[in-house]
Amino acid sequence: MTDTQDRKTKEIWVSGTEEPDWPGPDYVAHATDEGAQKMKLHETGDRLIEQLGIRIVDDVLYEEEEIDEDDRMIINMGPQHPSTHGVLRLQIELEGEIVRRIKPIIGYLHTGMEKTAETLTFMQGTTNVTRMDYLAPLHNELCFSLAVEQLLAIDIPPRAQAIRILMTEMNRIASHLVALATNGMDLGALSMMMYGFREREMILAFFEKTTGLRMNNNYIRVGGVAADLPDGWQGDIEEFLETMPLRLAQYDDLLMANPIWLRRTRDVGVITAEECLAYSITGPSLRATGLAHDLRKVAPYSGIEQYEFDIPVGQRGDSYDRYRVKVHEIEESLKIIKQVLETMPSGDYKTDDRKVTPPPRKRIDESMEALIHHFKIYTEGFKVPEGEAYVAIESPRGELGCYIVSDGGSKPLRMHTRAPSFANIQAIPIMLADSLIADTIAALASLDPVMGDVDR
Amino acid sequence: MPEEGPDAAKAEAVGVAPDPRSLPDHPVLVGLIEPFEDAEWALSSGQHVVLLPKEQLGEFAQAAKAAGFEMAADVTAVDYLGKRRVRFEVVANLLSVEHGLRIRVRCPVPADDTSLPSLVPTYPGANFFEREIYDMFGITFEGHPDMTRILMPDDWEGHPLRKDFGVGDVPVQFKEANKVT
């Protein structure tokens, strides 16, 4: 018997009594190996603090008592589990039905998009980033475009800015609808799932009409947007604005005073504002704790400061408050969309800086210069001055940041995305240590992580 | 590519030039910078940047937290292979919700000593970000509770976001290529 086989066998046999340490890099991993990240039966010090989430507020500290090891078990939820919203894996140490420790393990959807971004030109960049958070693709595109535009120091025409706000707020509603729908589905409210996806379909139909695609739109580009809004877009938006409040009332009828819903979400997955700040948790989860931190107000982008809207906040920071905050944010986004509809400026939908955006098709037949610009942009791409910039916007899940370093070429030296879901996943141990296993699903669903955004 | 070459001086310019206008005028920023004599302030695309020796990152984080920067919004790294004399740079974005401020701390990290103090004791939220940096760049953080890979498989060799790590490709067969039209 070889060493590897020996170790493998040994590990199986002694599992649960003496966990061997990770044997080293020459160890041959096999399919079911839990790897160096795995949760050990006996962990002390910082790792335990991290997994219990008690670094900041020790509200989850429980009386240390002698527990028979036979009463505890470590189970895996995921990576293939319908309620993990993608390929998220949770290692849970259970004592009966009580979760004592929990550790999120990620990386199953990692596709190296930050590496890919270094091989794509700035013009192709939006195609890449739009695939990160697949429920809010337009926010990713907007964030990337704003970061590049900051380095380019170009002005965006008012109409392009208004279109960007219109589209991203529509996208926010679509994303929150999926969050509500899947949250309902996870807790057994299957009607909510069907309602949520029904209304999202209206938005996706509008996206398809405008951008050509339902998801991964690649619509917001550096310098403006890819195309003007289609004829008759006002009618579609008006219809949506009329329908949506009625549907929101339906959701409230369905969920707000529903005793099952209340008991499954009230005081479940509680997190405080202090913990959110310490653990870099942003978005609706932060606002549900009562802290009105919204980048649309704090650091307005793309002219969103012209529109009037409020920041909904919760009080307790539990799953129910996170659900309410999302519902109210849909209402606020509807307000913004209504104002954009009423004040949509006329003019260009992209900048007329021909070094950045291609010329109109007609001009290519008439002007040599336009032909040259067209050729240069589609072969080499445009060059971005040396420098670095970090731009953050409020995505449906929190602070979405894009850090771009340019060395003066047509491709970024480094493109980093500060993914909100990636940071928010860190809330799981804090929310769930010492709660019931059934609440894991409720808390996780209300946190609304998108694995494409987590793993990139 | 050698780290010190004829292009190094030119490449150094990729960084931000200290700008006298960029001296912090906000009282919070002034109070924060004062004890750190080696720190340099600059303005990059209108954003506050602190250039800091890497050994002082932990201390600076504590001072920043005391000054009201509650959140480490983002921590990342950049590989400047062949562009600068010092190969890596760790970039931390600190956010103050209270004061509505954001600063970017940049610490150069040489290729032969890729270790620097962790932000986790001060900002527990930096945990995943630092693990990602370790995974992608091989930069380690002292004082981090769980310095393991986070996105790549545990048995992966190398650190993918380093510039000397190839992108990899799959050869594409064009079926129609051999057909005569």
CATH (domain of B128): 3.30.460.80
Confidence label for A147 from pLDDT (cuts 50, 70 and 90): very high
- Sorted by where each starts, the structural domains of chain A and their CATH numbers stand as 113-419 (1.10.645.10)
Q: Which residue has the tokens 């072969």?
A: A379
Contacts of A388 (CB under 8 A, 6+ apart): A151, A403, A404, A405, A406, B16, B44, B45, B78, B91
CB contact under 8 A, A425 and B83: no
d(CA B177, CA B37): 65
pLDDT, tens digit, 9 for 90 and up, residues B3-17:
444 444 444 444 554
CB contact under 8 A, A399 and B46: no
For residue A91, pLDDT over 70 is answered with: yes
For residue A152, pLDDT over 60 is answered with: yes
**Average pLDDT, integer, range A211-221:** 90
B1 inside domain? no
B168 CB burial (10 A radius; 0-12, 13-18, 19+): exposed
B73 inside domain? yes
**The total number of structural domains that make up chain B:** 1
Q: What's the CA angle centered on B140, arms B7 and B148, to 5 degrees?
A: 130
B25 inside domain? yes
B158 inside domain? yes
> What's residue A44's pLDDT?
65
pLDDT, tens digit, 9 for 90 and up, residues A244-267:
999 999 888 888 888 888 888 888
> What's residue A442's pLDDT?
87
For residue B30, pLDDT over 80 is answered with: no
B87 inside domain? yes
> What's residue A8's pLDDT?
44
CB contact under 8 A, B153 and A455: no
B56 inside domain? yes
Minimum mean pLDDT among A84-93, A106-115, B57-66, B169-178: which range?
B169-178
B3 inside domain? no
- A57 CB near a chain B CB, below 8 Å? no
Cβ pair B86, B15 in contact under 8 A: no
B2 inside domain? no
For B146, which residue in chain A has the nearest alpha carbon? A47
Closest Cα in chain B, distance from residue A73 (Å) = 22
pLDDT, tens digit, 9 for 90 and up, residues A159-215:
999 999 999 999 999 999 999 999 888 888 888 888 989 889 999 999 999 998 988
CB contact under 8 A, A399 and B97: no
For A34, which residue in chain B has the nearest alpha carbon? B154
pLDDT, tens digit, 9 for 90 and up, residues A44-60:
667 777 666 655 554 54
For residue B138, give its domain range: 8-178
Q: What's chain B's average pLDDT?
A: 80
For residue A307, pLDDT over 60 is answered with: yes
For B83, which residue in chain A has the nearest alpha carbon? A407
Confidence label for A329 from pLDDT (cuts 50, 70 and 90): very high
CB contact under 8 A, B125 and A401: no
Confidence label for A41 from pLDDT (cuts 50, 70 and 90): low
